[in-house]
Structure 1
Amino acid sequence: MNHYLIYCDDLQEGIWFKNLNSHFSNANLEVIPSSRKALAAIGLDKVLKYDRPDIVLLDNDQIILVLERTVEVPSGHNVGQRYGRLLAAAEERIPVVYFGPYAAYKHGGNTAGPRYMNLRLFYSLSNVSNTYNTAITTINWPVDRNYEVLKTPAKDVRIKEYLDLFFTYYDSYGFSGLTEYIKNSPFQLRQIQEQENFALTEVRSPEQYDVPPESVELLTVSTFKRRYNIAYNFPSNIQKIVLYHVGMTYIRSDPYTGMAALYKHLYGDSNTYQILEFANISSNLWYQQRQTSKTYRMYKEFSDAILFNDALILQQNL
């Protein structure tokens, strides 16, 4: 017998999700706890190890789905703010859904106007999906002709279709094989085709996303060592450095930790070191922060080393 429990980051989001499918009519609804000790006690610590997703669905105490939804304008570094929430679920091979607009209108000031998805999010999530052989489904939040996000029930049509697909398999076969079923479904293929069509028809110069952004350089080991006068001898298998220039002037997480995770899965492999350059941060300042903080944990997780303004420090020494 099914006993569904919906954990939500915000109660309104939980109510929205509960009303999407009849399977949830008797589901309990709870807000995700704040402390890591409480998360571990209820088995949410692994899927929340980087950040808090909007929805975590359990059945009989087993996590079966993670969902993140946002109406945020999806341009530039904004996509990185939610990347860790998707990645943690994917690493645990939990089906995960990203529901947000591929294009949306940004209001205010001289920068008002439509903003478009940073296509590197699609490319990086595709790599993660293949690495962990799991289903990561992006669903485009619909907008009107003026790129204003829809707030009517019509926005939820495809989320409901996804849940119907989900339960078609789950009701008959349970969790085993579910993520493969979704990954190889016609529904998933249509979402990927929409990504591709969006890139071709909506994004100006989509080829710009085929190369790293200005904040990221792909360097040979010798070039990196020569530029920064580094004496460290890298392991013999390391052939490339992914150097992410993090422009912050004080230590903070968003959006840089999420982008570090995104770039690591987009440009990295077993023959690569990802190094974060903190040109405005000293190593002494780094060691003053709490090692239990999300900021500390994520920077350490998604770097092989950090280049501070006074030292290169390898991951194991961070």
Structure 2
Amino acid sequence: MTDALDASYRFCGDLSRREAKNFYYSFLLLPPRLRRSMCALYAFLRHTDDLADEPGSIDAKRSSLLSWRVELDRALDGNPIAWPGLPALADAVQQHSIPPKFLHAVIDGVEMDLEPRPFSTFQDLHAYCYRVASAVGLCCIHIWGYNSEGGRAEKLAEACGIALQLTNILRDVREDAELGRVYLPMEDLDRFGVSPDELRSPVPSDRLRQLLAFEGRRAYDYYGEASPLIRLVAPVGRPVLAAIVNIYRALLDEIARRDYDVLAARVALPPWRKAAITVGALTGRLARPVPRPEGLLP
């Protein structure tokens, strides 16, 4: 490894330790080479998000993301670039044969957040979740190694990403609504008689709890659908997959335990619990099909 490439990987590792939170716990379960690749992927994701969140007009942010696409492609083609994490990402893409279309899909998803607009149907939301979460999972299984089984693994990775993103959406309902972002499908709000304004209330109404429970059931279904993926991932990647899935599944369990009151305070797991889940993933105890809870639908 050249000094410049080694420096790029160190940059990505430092950024991941500082920012990755839920995900970095799981990176520690990988051997160094794969851990470096995961950190390079995370650094790319973090920087992409930051470009959309930085101060400035929507047009300026859109221009930044367009330039970022160009810089990404230049790096993947082996050309000099400015951002220090891209050499490591380009190396990881080459090592693990990660299709660049997944990286561009992530940028597509971030661009969708520049001008928040309602999602009319769950199908519309699914397309967004694919870009910001499933595409990431598809990159991950390339890093870990997997048995496709004729495309089955890729479909399961897609479902896993949907489950994780739905969990994020439930956790951040009020925070997102205050920023003008409503990710819950309008068809579901209409079904339960919930107005978007209610998502900014400090206390959820009964009908809002019913709506969130409905979305929670949907997330649990996707966790269950994705559960066979762990058997198709290479053994070295199974603990990290189990850790990621079970940290997020535990977060969803905590949301359900609070009867879907996600408005008063942001639901989070304490560090010790994330660490315990990560340690448990090493034993394979948590790598089992996820049951669907009963009683979540009105």
- Point out which structure has higher relative CO (alpha carbons under 8 A, 6+ apart): 2
Greater helix content: 2
If you compute each CA radius of gyration, which structure gives the higher value, 1 or 2? 1
TM-score range with shorter-chain normalisation? 0.3 to 0.5
Normalising by structure 1, what TM-score?
0.34
More strand by share: 1
TM-score by length of 2: 0.36
